[in-house]
Chain A
Amino acid sequence: MERDTPRAPGSDAARPARDLEVTLARLLTVGTVLSAGVILIGVALYLLRQSGERLDYGTFRTHADELNAPLSIVARALEFDAAAVMQLGVLLLILTPIVRVGFTLVAFVIKRDWMYVVVAGIVFAVLCLGLLGLKVH
């Protein structure tokens, strides 16, 4: 292989891979814009309704709240609870890089690149474990 010879871009077999990277990057942008939009709606609702509330975040309290698990966040956001809508936006933000790793995994499957299917699969599994399964008290 002519590893160290510069070549003109676009003339190589890596082209489809580049296109895929750009698509994946767009996915991140879409996810980010979507989450920011949901967060802003939540913030607007919150400021409209709860603006005068006194807050104190000086001490951390572990609360068994509905805003700690993905499914209950969605359920409460559908009732237009302001804090839950903000938290839904935050959840979408956390999901964005996870979904991106998922798509990278699919891309490796399509390319039949089994070694990287395993590598991306491990990353994806650990991310899902962190979001869904692992509860530490």
Chain B
Amino acid sequence: MGKRVLGIETSCDETGVAVYDTEAGLLAHTVHSQIDLHAAYGGVVPELASRDHIRLLPALVRQTVRAADCRLDQIDAIGYTAGPGLAGALLVGAGFAESLGMSLDVPVLPIHHLEGHLLSPLLSADPPKFPFVALLVSGGHTQLMSVSGVGEYVLLGETLDDAAGEAFDKTAKLMGLGYPGGPQLAALASEGKPGRFKLPRPMLRSGDLDFSFSGLKTAVLNVVNGVGWKADDAADLAADFQEAAVDVLVAKSLAALEASGLSQLVVAGGVGANRRLRAQLDRAAKRKGWRVFYPEPELCTDNGAMIAFAAALRFERGPGGSPGGAVSVRPRWPLADLRPPVEPAGTA
């Protein structure tokens, strides 16, 4: 029998719990989304997010462990998201996980949220192999990383202002679309034709692997506020915005593969579910003979499975953290600060 790892994710507006078995794979995972809760506020309200996490987390843990057909005393380790994210929301998961680990007397591993995302394609039926380039693209992050193993991450480039998903959400908001805006903007874009509004491709030729999306959002604002703007043009403008954002993400991802000499690209994070992005990446990579890997669709957004999985990989390779220690979270935590799990002495 493999080792069973409980994963807990509460970094933003999704409460995720999963049980991963190092031999049998993912046994169960449950995600509760708070989208409806925050919709009336036009964005995530941190205090309400924290309240919802603590309201549901213990029940989700009970339910998910049951769905995995095991008991709490059969859990061998617990992983939880320790950052980056909303401090109060992280603290709920951290406090519960550390306490549960203490009473079960099992190791507890604080996991980096983005490590969870970038390793999540390894959970799919046809996983990539180390090393690869990862494009982490969500509402909170836009980064290109070179990944040579668990905990071996080198930052190649990142956004200098808004994250790509944030730009989708903010642009949707200024165009008067509902919440959450990103997916609605993408849906509207599929009804339009790009090319009419000549939006910029920020930093496309900057010569590095960094991104910038706030200027693109401003360009849309100028169109919407300009003379001659008609609501009928919204679909075409959405298509233009999406095309511009996708163009930059694709070009930089290819440049990262080129520069690192690698041939596998892993795409993770909520924006990784964008169909246009996937189509363009697949097409461009195919031309070069490269491959693009995505997490299973249900694991694109925040979830506990990726945290359980990342914790399992670390737990297998090194000692887990001892339970009942400090409940500490890192709302800001650069991914490149991570280190590989330390091999037990004598096996290195």
The answer to whether A and B belong to the same complex is no
List the interface of chain B (C-beta within 8 A of A).
none
